[in-house]
Amino acid sequence: MSVSPFVFLLLSAINVIWAIGVAQVPDLTQMYPPLGVSNRLYYISKAKFVSYAQASTWCSQNLGGYPAEIDTAEELKFIEQYAIFTKVRKIFIAGTDAGKDGVFLSQRTGAPITVFDWAKGEPNNSGGVEDCLELNGNKQGRMNDTPCSRASVFHNVLCERDLNEEKRQKMKAVP
Ligand SMILES: *[C@@H]1O[C@H](CO)[C@@H](O)[C@H](O)[C@H]1NC(C)=O
Ligand SMILES: [Ca+2]
Ligand SMILES: [Ca+2]
């Protein structure tokens, strides 16, 4: 993907309001410029967290999302470009293999994560305690397995909102 359409898709506050219909002006000083891709919104926190749980809470409290779930190779391409753009080194995304080593499931839905782009030598489950996923904006945006919670390891978080999914849920909720 060339650089210009990507930059074009980075959203201002007005675009975010338009995209997700939030009533209040979102505080975009807390995040890198959000990225909009065909009814999905992505945003990377400026804050860093020592646990995935805290990072996930930040996503829901800021623009109502969840740590990004990689569903397709195309989606991964977009968010790798976004990670590279921000240059942030350690960025939580969804996925944990706490249940079975090497089998990554979404923390939110339990669905398997099937698309990966590992950094060289990863996943290595270093120390036997790396059960979460991160992107490395300094390593072509590629993936690493990383501890879900460790006091000395700080992660930003990449959040997602999928407006198509929300529409489907709403339609299902209608009796
Ligand atoms: C294993 O991965 C961690 C990052 O999760 C990295 O710091 C470490 O250097 C890697 N170890 C080896 C032996 O590649
Ligand atoms: Ca997704
Ligand atoms: Ca690792």
Q: What is the DSSP string of the chain?
A: --HHHHHHHBPPHHHHHHHH--SSPP-GGGBSPPEEETTEEEEEBSS-BSBHHHHHHHHHHTTT-EE----SHHHHHHHHHHHHHHT-S-EEEEEEEEEETTEEE-TTT-PBP----BPTT----GGG---EEEE-TTTTT-EEEE-SB-TT--BEEEEEEEHHHHHHHHHHH--
Q: Whose CA is nearest to atom 6 of ligand 1?
A: 126
CA of 79 to the centre of ligand 2 (A): 10
Task: Kindly state if the Cβ of 124 falls inside 6 Å of ligand 1.
Answer: yes
Q: Write down the pLDDT at residue 28.
A: 85
Q: Write down the pLDDT at residue 8.
A: 41
Asked whether the predicted pLDDT for residue 94 surpasses 80, the reply is yes
Task: Kindly state if the Cβ of 102 falls inside 6 Å of ligand 1.
Answer: no
Asked whether the predicted pLDDT for residue 88 surpasses 90, the reply is yes
pLDDT digits (tens, 9 = 90+) for 32-67: 998 888 888 999 999 999 999 999 999 999 989 999
CA of 70 to the centre of ligand 2 (A): 5
Q: Write down the pLDDT at residue 10.
A: 67
Task: Kindly state if the Cβ of 121 falls inside 6 Å of ligand 1.
Answer: yes
14 pLDDT band, cuts 50/70/90, is low
Instruction: Give the nearest ligand 1 atom to 124 CA.
Output: 1
Task: Kindly state if the Cβ of 136 falls inside 6 Å of ligand 1.
Answer: no
**How far is Cα 138 from Cα 123, in angstroms, rounded to an integer?**
17
Ion ligand 3 contact residues with beta carbon within 5 A: 122, 124, 126, 130, 144-145
